[in-house]
């Protein structure tokens, strides 16, 4: 019985630890000439909005492939944000 309650008590702590580790993992972001890091837990849409950009005017490319705005950044790799607005 004691062992079971110890496991039950450990579970949320482990979950929090995993969450914190994930949050700590940073993904490299490239946008225009700038480069920065972002926590991997968020989605591309959240990243775009967080940067004050309009999701209509930016696309995300991960490892050379176009990815949907609902994709999570993940725990590794690089994301390139491509501005789609042109004009003059």
Partner 1 sequence: MGVHRCRKCAADSVINMPQHKLALCGEHFLAWVEKSTFDFIHKHRMFEPEDRVLVAVSGGKDSLSLWAILLKLGFHADGLYIDLGIDDGCGYSKRSVDYARKFAQSVSPAAELHVVDVGALYGKTVAELAARRAGGRKKLCSVCGLVKRHEMNRAARELGYPVLATGHNLDDEAAVLFGNTLRWEVEYLVRQAPVLPSGEHGLMKRVKPLARFYERETAAYAIVSNIDYIEEECPFSKGATSIRLKESLNSMEIGSPGTKLNFYFSFLRARKSGIFPGCERPALKACEKCGQATAIPGLCAFCRLTDPEIASGRENDGQEGLPGLENASETDISRL
- Under the binding rule (CB under 8 A), the answer on residue 82 touching partner 1 is yes
Minimum gap (Å) between residue 49 Cβ and partner 1: 10
- Under the binding rule (CB under 8 A), the answer on residue 68 touching partner 1 is yes
- Under the binding rule (CB under 8 A), the answer on residue 75 touching partner 1 is no
Given the structure tokens 């972002």, which residue do they identify?
38
Query: Which residues of the chain form contacts with partner 1 (CB under 8 A)?
Result: 54-59, 61, 65-71, 82-88
């Amino acid at each position: 019985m004691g062992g079971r309650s110890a496991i039950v008590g450990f579970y949320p702590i482990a979950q929090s630890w995993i969450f914190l580790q994930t949050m700590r993992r940073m993904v490299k972001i490239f946008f225009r000439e700038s480069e920065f890091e972002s926590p991997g837990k968020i989605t591309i849409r959240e990243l775009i909005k967080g940067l004050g950009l309009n999701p209509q005017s930016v696309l995300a490319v991960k490892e050379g492939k176009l990815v949907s705005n609902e994709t999570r950044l993940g725990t590794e790799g690089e994301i390139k944000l491509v501005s789609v607005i042109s004009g003059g």
